Amino acid sequence: MYQGKQVSVVFPAYNEEQYIRQAIEDFWIPGVVDEVIVVNNNSRDRTAEEAAKTPARVVLETKQGYGHALQRGMREARGDLIILAEPDGTFIGRDALKLLAYAEDFQMVCGTRTTRELIWAEANMGWFLRVGNWSVAKLLQVLYSGPSLSDCGCTLRLIHRQALEEIQDFFTVGKSHFLPEMVILALRAGISVIEVPINYRGRVGESKITGNFKGVLRTGLRMIGLILSYKFKRLPARPNTHSAKA
């Protein structure tokens, strides 16, 4: 529990048996995190069995896709504050405390992996990925009058339950470009958003999304298409109850 609020951590998991138990242990911060949810997204290895050896709650999401897994995890979460993370060793559990530190002032706190001083030597964040993430994030920032954004695809983020309830019925993306949709919907709903720098390490195994140039390009183009298309998409009006603080 953090400042009287329950905290949930959600891991989308597809073939992550190598590191899933270490990730759960790393993010289960004593006295802070109340539950960890592992969403088994049709893994073909022993991901579910390894996760079941921990206190984490394992749920199955049969709709294949990164976005589907994250959405299922957020629906399952019981916490007032919900943290999304990766179970592949790229993120550090203590960085969740950075997100929580801003949770009192902002309804969504997103991590950014583009701060060079926090990118570990073995991380999959070369110049092309870093510049690409920055460019797409700036496009989103400009089109939706957002705060300063530099990373459109960082999973590590926090959202208040109340804010999630305002936007979750509008989720449409079940694949790898789900994360920008979350931010767009939040900004259009008047939810306050801030970005904070976090550590980014090398992952265990190969990324299913950015493990090769083709995957990077495909995901990047999907994100750009999503950002542009939402500019012309009508959504039911929502009251602006979460204006950003000065």
Answer whether residue 242 is part of any domain: no
What does the pLDDT read at residue 239?
45
Between CA 179 and CA 67 the distance in angstroms is 8
The predicted pLDDT at position 72 comes to 98
Are the C-beta atoms of 81 and 160 separated by less than 8 Å? Answer: yes
Taking a C-beta distance cutoff of 8 angstroms, is the pair 162, 190 a contact? no
Residue 63 belongs to what domain range? 7-230
Give how many domains the chain has, as a whole number. 1
Confidence of residue 218 (pLDDT cuts 50, 70, 90): confident
- Determine which helix (DSSP H) or strand (DSSP E) holds 7, and give its type and residue range: strand 7-13
State mean pLDDT over 177-191: 96
Asked if residue 51 belongs to a domain, the reply is yes
What CATH number is given to the structural domain containing 223? 3.90.550.10
236 lies in a domain? no
Q: Is residue 175 part of a domain?
A: yes
Classify residue 246: in a domain, yes or no: no
What is the predicted pLDDT for the residue at 219?
Answer: 85
At 106 the pLDDT is 98
Find out whether 244 and 235 touch, Cβ atoms under 8 Å: no
Q: Confidence band (pLDDT; 50, 70, 90) for 244?
A: very low
User: 97, 134, 111: which is closest to 201 by C-alpha?
Assistant: 111
Q: What pLDDT score does 208 carry? A: 53
The answer to whether residue 113 is domain-embedded is: yes
Q: Establish if 237 belongs to a structural domain.
A: no
d(CA 182, CA 144): 13
Q: What is the mean pLDDT of residues 97-118?
A: 96
For residue 217, what pLDDT is reported? 82
**2 three-class SS:** strand
pLDDT at 212 > cutoff 80: no
Q: Which tokens in the block code for residue 211?
A: 């493990």
Kindly tell me if the per-residue pLDDT of 233 is higher than 50. Answer: yes
> Does 89 score more than 60 pLDDT?
yes
Looking up tokens 């306050």, which residue turns up? 192
Rounded to whole angstroms, the Cα distance separating 239 from 148 reads: 23
Above 60 in pLDDT, residue 242?
no
Please check whether residue 1 lies inside any domain of the structure.
no
Give the pLDDT band (50/70/90) at residue 206: low
